[in-house]
Amino acid sequence: METKYLDVPNQKWGIVVVLDYDVDFDYRDLRAIMMSFGLLDENKIEKSMNILSEPNTGMTITNIDLCMSVIFISNATDSSEWWDTALHELYHVSNAIIDYYGVPYESEDAAYLMGYLTKEFIEKVGFPCYD
């Protein structure tokens, strides 16, 4: 597992990105991260971990009170699948920030936010992880 941190300074929002490079990943760490972001329901945690054990999957949890989101990205079968998952999860983060600040979805501010998140993701997370 590798963890990266992105910051959205104008919005005072933090994003933790958890990447699963290892098929033999210890899911106790993943469970702890999920719980620290407010996912406390054991059934939902178990379901989430089953989803993330498959390739080409991801999940986002947002804690509005903390103004933080965590993105989980599993191993992918190729780079296009990895980027498909990454951008899908960034979309969820973008929507959470837009909702929190009351920004209209169709606005230029919303579009710039998605562009900013994508650029930060590329620069700070780097190259995709795939088999």
pLDDT digits (tens, 9 = 90+) for 1-56: 788 888 887 778 888 888 875 555 567 777 788 888 887 788 888 888 888 888 89
β-pairing, 2-8 vs 68-73, is unpaired
The Cα 81–Cα 104 span in angstroms is 29
At residue 50, the pLDDT reads 81
Q: What is the pLDDT of residues 61-81, one digit of tens each?
A: 999 998 999 998 988 898 899
At residue 75, the pLDDT reads 86
Please report whether residue 80 resides in a domain.
Answer: yes
Q: Quote the number of domains for the chain.
A: 1
Please report whether residue 131 resides in a domain.
Answer: no
At residue 29, the pLDDT reads 77
Please report whether residue 112 resides in a domain.
Answer: yes
Model confidence, pTM: 0.85
24: containing domain: 2-125
Please report whether residue 55 resides in a domain.
Answer: yes
